[in-house]
Amino acid sequence: MTKSDIPFDMVVVGATGDLGRRKLLPALYFLHKYGEISPKGRIFAVSRQKGTRETFLELAAASSKRHIAPDELNPQDWESFTKRLDYVTVDATDGATYQPLSEKLADRQNRVRVFYLATSPNLYGAISRAIHDAGLITPKSRIVLEKPIGTDLQSATAINSSVGEVFGEDQIFRIDHYLGKETVQNLMALRFGNILFEPMWRSEHIDHVQITVAETLGVEGRGGYYDKSGALRDMVQNHLLQLLCLTAMEPPARLEQDAIREEKIKVLRALRPFSLEEIEQKTVRGSYRLGAIAGETVPGYLDEPDVDEKSTTETFVALKAEIENWRWAGVPFYLRTGKRMGHRVSEIIIQFKQVPHQLFKSRTRAIQPNRLVIRLQPDEAIKLGLMTKRPGPRMILEREELNLNLADRPGAHTFQAYERLLLDVIRGVTTLFMHRTEVEAAWTWVEQILEGWQELGGRPRSYNSGTWGPPKSIALLERDGRSWYEHIVDLER
Amino acid sequence: MTKSDIPFDMVVVGATGDLGRRKLLPALYFLHKYGEISPKGRIFAVSRQKGTRETFLELAAASSKRHIAPDELNPQDWESFTKRLDYVTVDATDGATYQPLSEKLADRQNRVRVFYLATSPNLYGAISRAIHDAGLITPKSRIVLEKPIGTDLQSATAINSSVGEVFGEDQIFRIDHYLGKETVQNLMALRFGNILFEPMWRSEHIDHVQITVAETLGVEGRGGYYDKSGALRDMVQNHLLQLLCLTAMEPPARLEQDAIREEKIKVLRALRPFSLEEIEQKTVRGSYRLGAIAGETVPGYLDEPDVDEKSTTETFVALKAEIENWRWAGVPFYLRTGKRMGHRVSEIIIQFKQVPHQLFKSRTRAIQPNRLVIRLQPDEAIKLGLMTKRPGPRMILEREELNLNLADRPGAHTFQAYERLLLDVIRGVTTLFMHRTEVEAAWTWVEQILEGWQELGGRPRSYNSGTWGPPKSIALLERDGRSWYEHIVDLER
């Protein structure tokens, strides 16, 4: 099956919001344009605002010009795409207001029906209940939830339970769009499609792993939300731990069903809990202060609107995680994420060990150990650092970076994470979505750090905007005789 | 030391012959042009023919136009190169005729002195003796011998012994120019400079190895010589077994001195001897008959000049070798070489095993196991066959060929095998030259096959010129559920 022939109705709750306009509509447009979704598929934008199909199409057209590249925005394609679109005014938390939507869906009871909640997470429970009350949940219905699921274990469990009252776990698709990235997919292909990597993928040959998700943005007007959250909740609990799981998991028995999710859960449960002393030693909190990004002065976190001027919320976190299992014993996973960093970059670094015997040492500078770099942002790339011989009559080795993202051919459409994930929702493939147990296991581990910080008191260390966080983050690795991978040179050239 | 500053005198015996003109003079010219040899180095062409420096320079100039690419043949470079050149008439097997050469060398007793014998191997003993009798062997003297050393163990031992009477083993450089190839060097760099390969380099992960050296040429007027030799003596005993040794050897402790040669000898000694029955099963002899190469009709071997019309000499051999040690138990090394094949190609193929569990099988065609291709001819290349994900929203894997010969930058001078090896002779680096023990160990193994063939009787199987040898060669692998790597598509595109 190269093209999807699964008819579907997709209800996007909050379609007129930021996520809907910036990510979902473009993704659906591309799936349409490249023939990846059934011509019979319908898309219903739903929101509280009064409006008509026409007003929504106007808004969608305006938004498309901002979020779709001009050479991809073909008028005929857009025109045919809009035939799928409809708009219905619904107060999503009130079952009684669903009647107009209900009527439109009525004649297609047996097709795949997707409810995509592009809303605030604290509404997930109420909206699920309302959809149920309106009698819209069919056996082929699915619900898609965006992160964050909760702000701690308790609130996450509450959301999962209330959604779970009306949707079965196999109907719930919790999105982490990092998992839909081409490079993350290719990481799995490399590891499990080639005999060359999996035997090397263990403590015997890997020195450590680094996962960095760095943003240059600050809180961008979301100070009120962010100040209650912080980097650990906002990024580590979901994106970074998901990347850690995919990197560290055992080979699953199948790609389908729950096999991958089961392996990820095993990793989360093997994460070594921190004692209070270890939290002091192995985690670093930071908070950005006044600085410059790309030559422009930006304010400190405590001066951002809606942020408590005495806030102790971290905008940066670095930590040294350990996975207590046979494969990863003794291999640290260094995670860091922050706002107002020097560069926007998301990367997994697999640092292999040095060769056990330096055969070439007397003839050249020391051999650099192999390194696999999986970059998700700003560009997608997989690079392998290898030593090869410099051409010429002498045996002198040089480091070369080999591009493994070979399938990334110029000219071809690069499928974005949301395209892949929306398609998987329609196809009912749960592989790349988080199981309830995963979300809760991640919260369990993260919460002990949150509690530890609270118990320890104190404040995050300040770091200048435009840097890589507080010096203590650098010390975290240097103490172990290691260093954070230097993105800068690489990104600037 | 990036440039060599070792002063030397090089005496090329037989410099006016085919090897001298085609390979040695161009190699020395390039070493001069790229500043790799000391400006003080002198080169003495020596042969029986009457002649002067002037007549030799004329011959060298004429020959340079044929064997050096025009854009490399800079008049100034050539002019300065010829300042090194001199010519002396000497009957190399007669010590009494060395006087003129002796006088020219007399004022440089303490520099490196190289005798390069570009002559028939049956003269090696006599020439060595004459050089000794002429009193020309200094402590810093070296002698370079071309293959073949002998035609069987007895004659090889005789040559080694007679040369060994006047030169120490550490003064004897037996050349196999295959070992000077950039790709062969890079194979060592990849294996021992990267943690990623060596742990995979064993029976646990490698299914089998193929070594092919295929020529399109026939015996080319050397029928008289060849008919006494054959493919096994002419190619397998030296080139193919050398490539097998470098592929299969254990990591040496050092690159210098005899460490690599010791590892190669261990491989040769671990080659499993064949019973008579196994020779029947595991070796294939072939002899080319009338056929077409690149559209032109070529004669059969038995119709070649100076070939006995009832000759049973093989022009093709394929065999299945096994190395009896811990690393390679159960991993066949399939070797084949022949004249009048469809294409000229020399290649080592490392065929890795299939992944143990086919995770992706239900979604795509079967995964192809990884394969490392080390090509020495016609072009030099190292390619790794990997499975990667096809871009797009579905998990479909595709085979990609990754170029690992990264250091091969466009525009740079590619150092040829003879350049590297001549430089190693001057520097006194024996690593890439064959030790006496190696040559004799290779003959020991090859000779039992020769004896087996004689005992079994019969004739080589004919194969059409322009094909890959007799069908029995194909059956040799197919019987084991394997296939020869298909070079054809690859070479023709």
Q: Is B171 within the bounds of a domain?
A: no
CA distance A133 to chain B (A): 34
Residue A152 pLDDT exceeds 90: yes
Q: Is B423 within the bounds of a domain?
A: no
Predicted TM-score (pTM) of the model is 0.90
Averaged pLDDT for residues A221-245: 94
Q: Which of A387, A389, A407 sits opposite B391 (nearest CB)?
A: A407
Angle at A426 between CA A421 and CA A427, to 5 degrees: 90
- What's the pLDDT at B412? 66
- What's the pLDDT at B2? 41
* Exposure string for A463-485, b = 16+ CB within 10 A, e = fewer: bbbbbbbbeebeebbeeeebebb
- What's the pLDDT at A400? 84
CA distance A205 to A353: 5
Neighbour count for residue B198 (Cβ, 10 Å):
17
Q: Is A170 within the bounds of a domain?
A: no
- A285 to chain B, any CB pair closer than 8 A? The answer is no
Q: Is A421 within the bounds of a domain?
A: no
A193 neighbourhood in chain B, CB within 8 Å: 355, 359-360, 367, 387-389, 397
Q: Is A427 within the bounds of a domain?
A: no
Instruction: Work out the mean pLDDT of chain B and round it to a whole number.
Output: 91
Give the residue from A97, A123, A146 where a domain finishes: A146
Pick the residue with more confidence: B282 or A408? B282
Contact B192 A402 (CB under 8 A): no
- What's the pLDDT at A452? 97
State whether A183 and A141 are in the same domain.
no
State whether A323 and A371 are in the same domain.
yes
Averaged pLDDT for residues B367-395: 87
**Among A52-56, A185-189, B57-61, where is mean pLDDT lowest?**
A185-189
Paired tokens of A295:
């030559």
Q: Is B383 within the bounds of a domain?
A: yes
State whether A43 and A88 are in the same domain.
yes
CA distance B288 to chain A (A): 38
- What's the pLDDT at A412? 66
State whether A352 and A480 are in the same domain.
yes
CA distance B193 to chain A (A): 6
- The CA–CA distances, whole Å, from B9 to B77, B143, B259, B331 equal 20, 12, 28, 46
- A453 to chain B, any CB pair closer than 8 A? The answer is no
Contact A196 B386 (CB under 8 A): yes
Contacts of A377 (CB under 8 A, 6+ apart): A213, A344, A345, A346, A347
Q: Residues B32, B239, B435, B487: which is the catalytic one?
A: B239
State whether B267 and B385 are in the same domain.
yes
- What's the pLDDT at B221? 84
Residue B192 pLDDT exceeds 90: yes
Contact B359 A254 (CB under 8 A): yes
Residue B91 pLDDT exceeds 60: yes
Residue A231 pLDDT exceeds 80: yes
A30 neighbourhood in chain B, CB within 8 Å: none
- B161 to chain A, any CB pair closer than 8 A? The answer is no
Query: For the segment B1-57, what is each residue's pLDDT rounded down to a tens digit?
Result: 445 689 999 999 999 998 999 999 999 999 999 999 999 999 999 999 999 999 999
Q: Is A80 within the bounds of a domain?
A: yes
State whether B338 and B444 are in the same domain.
yes
Note if A239 is an active site residue. yes
Query: For the segment B225-279, what is each residue's pLDDT rounded down to a tens digit?
Result: 899 999 999 999 999 999 999 999 999 998 876 889 999 999 999 999 999 999 9
Question: Cβ distance A176 to A417 under 8 Å?
Answer: no
Position A245 confidence tier, pLDDT thresholds 50, 70, 90: very high
- B6 to chain A, any CB pair closer than 8 A? The answer is no
- What's the pLDDT at B377? 86
CATH number, domain at B65?
3.40.50.720
Residue A364 pLDDT exceeds 80: no
- What's the pLDDT at B105? 96
In which residue are the tokens 């595709």 written?
B398
Residue B335 pLDDT exceeds 90: yes
Paired tokens of B140:
């810093």
User: If we measure between CA atoms, which residue out of B125, B126, B48, B131 comes closest to residue B95?
Assistant: B131
State whether B126 and B242 are in the same domain.
no
Contact B386 A357 (CB under 8 A): no
Report the share of chain B in percent with pLDDT over 90: 76
Position A408 confidence tier, pLDDT thresholds 50, 70, 90: low
Pick the residue with more confidence: A118 or B490? A118
Query: For the segment A165-220, what is each residue's pLDDT rounded down to a tens digit?
Result: 999 999 999 999 988 888 888 889 999 999 999 999 999 999 999 999 999 999 98
State whether B253 and B126 are in the same domain.
no
Instruction: Work out the mean pLDDT of chain A and round it to a whole number.
Output: 91
State whether A120 and A184 are in the same domain.
no
Query: For the segment A411-425, what is each residue's pLDDT rounded down to a tens digit?
Result: 567 788 899 999 999
- B359 to chain A, any CB pair closer than 8 A? The answer is yes
State whether B100 and B227 are in the same domain.
no
State whether A246 and A378 are in the same domain.
yes
State whether B265 and B351 are in the same domain.
yes
Query: For the segment B99-120, what is each residue's pLDDT rounded down to a tens digit?
Result: 999 999 999 999 999 999 999 9
Three-state secondary structure of chain B:
CCCCCCCEEEEEECCCCHHHHHHHHHHHHHHHHCCCCCCCCEEEEEECCCCCHHHHHHHHHHHHHHHCCCCCCCHHHHHHHHCCEEEEECCCCCHHHHHHHHHHHHHHCCCEEEEEECCCHHHHHHHHHHHHHCCCCCCCEEEEECCCCCCCHHHHHHHHHHHHHHCCHHHEEECCHHHHCHHHHHHHHHHHHCCCCHHHCCCCCEEEEEEEEECCCCCCCCHHHHHHHCHHHHHHHHHHHHHHHHHHCCCCCCCCCCHHHHHHHHHHHHECCCCHHHHHHHEEEEEEECEEECCEEECCHHHCCCCCCCCCCCCEEEEEECECCCCCCCCCEEEEEECCCCCCEEEEEEEECCCCCCCCHHHCCCCCCCEEEEEEECCCEEEEEEEEECCCCCCCEEEEEEECCCCCCCCCCCCCHHHHHHHHHHHCCCCCCECHHHHHHHHHHHHHHHHHHHHHCCCCEEEECCCCCCHHHHHHHHCCCCCCCCHHHHHHC
- What's the pLDDT at B168? 96
* Domain residue limits at A310: 179-414+435-491
Q: Which of B359, B404, B409, B418 to mutate to test the interface with A (most CBs of A within 10 A)?
A: B359
Query: For the segment B407-432, what is each residue's pLDDT rounded down to a tens digit?
Result: 556 656 778 889 999 999 999 988 88
Q: Is B213 within the bounds of a domain?
A: yes
CA distance B112 to B8: 5
Contact B195 A407 (CB under 8 A): no
- A166 to chain B, any CB pair closer than 8 A? The answer is no
Position A2 confidence tier, pLDDT thresholds 50, 70, 90: very low
Averaged pLDDT for residues A70-79: 93
Contact B359 A255 (CB under 8 A): yes
B386 neighbourhood in chain A, CB within 8 Å: 190, 194, 196, 404, 406
Position A493 confidence tier, pLDDT thresholds 50, 70, 90: very low
Question: Cβ distance A321 to A272 under 8 Å?
Answer: yes
Neighbour count for residue B71 (Cβ, 10 Å):
6
- B392 to chain A, any CB pair closer than 8 A? The answer is yes
Split into its structural domains, chain A has a count of 2
CATH number, domain at B221?
3.30.360.10
Comparing alpha-carbon positions, the chain B residue that sits nearest to A425 is B393
For B:366-385, CB contacts with A below 8 A are: 367, 369-370, 384
